[in-house]
Structure 1
Amino acid sequence: MSLGLSSTRSSAAGCWLVIYPVAVFSSRNFKLQDKAERIVILGTGGTIAGKAADAADNVGYKAGQVGVDQLVLAAPPLAAFKLETEQVAQLDSKDMDFATWQRLAQAVDRHLQRDDVRGVVITHGTDTLEETAYLLMRVLAPRKPVVLTAAMRPSTALQADGPQNLLDAVAVASQAASGVFAVLAGRIHGATRLRKVHSYAIDAFASVEGGALGTVEEGRVRWLSQAEAELPPLGLSRIARDASQWPWVEIVQNHAGADGRVVEAMLAHGVHGIVVAGTGNGTLSNGLTAALQKARDRGVSVLRSTRCDAGPVIGGELPSAGALSPVKARIELLLQLLA
């Protein structure tokens, strides 16, 4: 291709994020300082690859319609980089599933092991991006950067945000030392503290408990804080089991009038693990507490999280998920059970 791309079609992380000072990127004078120059971009679909019939329509679009090669062509400054693309999946991230997670993690690991690869960028939908980022952070120990990016507007929008986000993500992948990041709206986030906090706005993501790790400003990567401390990696072998055989882990929520009937229903159908999103400091109604204790007595694993956007769950009789959001606590419990 004219942008120097080589395209493949196969569809075949907890760690400490080590961040060092980085050089300034310019599309005119960019030069990598080591032999690993290639950035691999893995496409999975999402709004960034979405299309609408009307350019003024930012809602009535269909996600996952544009191939990853086309996403690269929509950002001409990417011609400054040595790129390779692979279409791992093409779906709306609200439909993200275990099989795609497994295939994606294996693809990331495969490319990271190549001597000529500097880093990996993943184009993703926004709905479950924070979950995928956390999964990759827990099962990989990347010595190179893995950067997820996305868009809140489809590729056909009058002011599509996807091309800039992709350009920024590649800039970060070319300069960061190691770790799993998300780059959106000019901000660099770590996998653990990342949250989608707005349903529609362009800057829909935030890092709770400390803010973003850095920014990308007109091609300049600027780090604002030290890397967040991540959990040690569990290893890719955790997800080697066929995706159809992964444990069933569900999320329940405490709310006014909550009782234990939903937990009883799950027990009757063979649930393996339950994450409960409690109110405040993970508080639960008496009925829900009793039902979850019953589930534990029957061998079901339980983790207690909170509906709050930030802050840890401290104390209590049921095991705490710490500061993990309910969806990330579900991934943590799922990976523990996959052991």
Structure 2
Amino acid sequence: MIFKSIKPTWLRALPLTLMLSLSSFSAWAKPHVVLVATGGTIAGAGASATNSATYQAAKVPVDDLINAVPQMKDIADVEGVQAFQMASESFTDKELLSLARQVSALVKRDDVNGIVITHGTDTLEETAFFLNLVVHTNKPIVVVGSMRPSTALSADGALNLYDAVVVAAGKDSAGKGVLVAMNDEIQSGRDVSKRINIRTNAFASQWGALGMVVEGKSYWFRQPVKRHTGQSEFNIDDIKGDALPLVQIVYGSDSMIAAPYLAVADAGAKAIIHAGTGNGSVAGYLVDTLKKLRSQGILIVRSSRVPDGFVLRNAEQPDDKYDWVVAHDFNPQKARLLTSLALTKTSDTKELQRIFWEY
């Protein structure tokens, strides 16, 4: 009786077991995940098994990465794309834009359920944050790397990659922005940064992980609240060319001189990220230099070299009076990217400050 309304008549004649199989096909069909490889340590190789910090990055092609972790195929149908084969310290805006366009095209495919991007750890946080701002999708995008090459004892890449596929294939990962899966943790691409350069627990966020992956299952504990991906006002499809407006970082310390600020201004920078001490502090003997640069149309954004906390507006310096911007909780490298993107739309400091609050 349950098949009474099914048409045509030949379908009503099918055996019950086959009908049940057809009706449940979507429930047991594996998700389709595209693995986009860019190089990095996860694709690296050392001279011996004891070389965990001395090795050549970006040596293993994408198909070998997939074949090295056959357990991924129990989770999803995994397709490989070789976007780049390079160490991530050599990434520029050109590579970021190219990768974002490739990912944007992939998530538009109806047969793609999620994306995994293998990446070197040096600039992994920048790439994850950039994609979080410019790729419009609710499909999971997961960036993953490793701190040790696959040839090393206790290599971490295989499990990281497996976990990343688990996250990318999971329906509960949708709508959470670009994610980073490493060391069993699921981090927000907005929040995460590389904090240790030689251990496997290198990536962390002051706001905590979104979740964890344990034995092939994702466990979630919090949601991102800032604008990202589908809610972003920035869209890679609207950005032309292979470069962004030039924004540079000047690192703060004691005994500074004005020359680095003047040099990046002479090089054509549209904005300078001041990676200040403490609360984005500016040395008294540099204030006039930054005020002069602002009067010439160059944006001044106060960030901090301190990894945690956030820069308060009109604290330490009168930002309203000087027409400066504060980077909120973004580290200097992420502040650089957000400022570059903002400059594709506006150079108004009030608008730029709004963008820093909302993203």
Tell me if both proteins adopt one fold, taking TM over 0.5 as the criterion. yes
Partner of 2:344: 338
Q: Is contact 2:145-2:182 (8 Å) kept?
A: yes
Partner of 2:202: 204
Alignment of structure 1 residues 68-107 onto 2, 5 Å: 68-80=62-74, 81-107=76-102
Corresponding residue to 2:111 among 116, 120, 123: 116
Partner of 1:149: 144
Q: Any stretches of 5+ residues in structure 1 without a counterpart?
A: 1-30
**CA offset digits 1:269-321 (Å, max 9, x no partner):** 32221101111111110232221211111111221111111111112312111
Please give the secondary structure, in 2, of the residue aligned with 1:338.
coil
Residue identity matched to 2:106: H
Alignment of structure 1 residues 264-303 onto 2, 5 Å: 264-303=262-301
In the alignment, the residues of structure 2 paired with residue 337 and residue 33 of structure 1 have an alpha-carbon distance, to the nearest angstrom, of 45
Question: Share of identical aligned residues, percent?
Answer: 38
Structure 1 residues 220 and 35: CA distance shift in structure 2, 3 A: closer
**CA offset digits 1:16-58 (Å, max 9, x no partner):** xxxxxxxxxxxxxxx9748782100000000000011112111
Q: Any stretches of 5+ residues in structure 2 without a counterpart?
A: 1-24, 346-359
Partner of 1:42: 36
Give the drift of 1:181. 0.1
Partner of 1:25: none
Q: Is contact 1:239-1:335 (8 Å) kept?
A: no
Give the structure-2-normalised TM-score: 0.82
Corresponding residue to 1:162 among 138, 153, 157: 157
In the alignment, the residues of structure 1 paired with residue 216 and residue 83 of structure 2 have an alpha-carbon distance, to the nearest angstrom, of 27
Partner of 2:223: 226
Give the drift of 1:94. 0.8
Q: Is contact 2:98-2:242 (8 Å) kept?
A: no
Structure 1 residues 141 and 109: CA distance shift in structure 2, 3 A: same
Residue identity matched to 1:218: E
Please give the secondary structure, in 1, of the residue aligned with 2:326.
coil
In the alignment, the residues of structure 1 paired with residue 242 and residue 199 of structure 2 have an alpha-carbon distance, to the nearest angstrom, of 37
**CA offset digits 1:74-95 (Å, max 9, x no partner):** 1120121211110000000111
Q: Is contact 2:303-2:327 (8 Å) kept?
A: yes
**CA offset digits 1:130-189 (Å, max 9, x no partner):** 000110011112210100000000121122111100000000011111220000000000
Structure 1 residues 274 and 59: CA distance shift in structure 2, 3 A: same
CA RMSD, 1 decimal: 1.7
Partner of 1:187: 185
In the alignment, the residues of structure 2 paired with residue 76 and residue 35 of structure 1 have an alpha-carbon distance, to the nearest angstrom, of 18
Q: Is contact 2:33-2:115 (8 Å) kept?
A: yes
In the alignment, the residues of structure 2 paired with residue 189 and residue 256 of structure 1 have an alpha-carbon distance, to the nearest angstrom, of 33
Alignment of structure 1 residues 240-255 onto 2, 5 Å: 240-243=240-243, 246-255=244-253
**Length, aligned pairs only:** 306
Q: Is contact 1:282-1:306 (8 Å) kept?
A: yes
Q: Is contact 2:93-2:242 (8 Å) kept?
A: no
Give the drift of 1:239. 3.4
Q: Is contact 1:254-1:288 (8 Å) kept?
A: no
Residue identity matched to 1:330: R
Which 4+ residue blocks in structure 1 deviate beyond 3 angstroms? Answer: 31-36
The answer to whether 1:235 aligns with 2:235 is: yes
Larger of the two Rg values belongs to structure: 2
* Greater RCO (CA < 8 Å, at least 6 residues apart): 1
Partner of 2:20: none
Alignment of structure 1 residues 306-321 onto 2, 5 Å: 306-316=304-314, 317=319, 318-321=324-327
Give the drift of 1:338. 2.5
Please give the secondary structure, in 2, of the residue aligned with 1:324.
coil
Residue identity matched to 1:319: V
Please give the secondary structure, in 2, of the residue aligned with 1:76.
coil
Structure with the largest fraction of helix: 2
In the alignment, the residues of structure 2 paired with residue 166 and residue 321 of structure 1 have an alpha-carbon distance, to the nearest angstrom, of 32
Structure 1 residues 322 and 117: CA distance shift in structure 2, 3 A: same
Partner of 2:356: none
Q: Is contact 1:36-1:115 (8 Å) kept?
A: no
Partner of 1:10: none
Q: Is contact 1:36-1:116 (8 Å) kept?
A: no
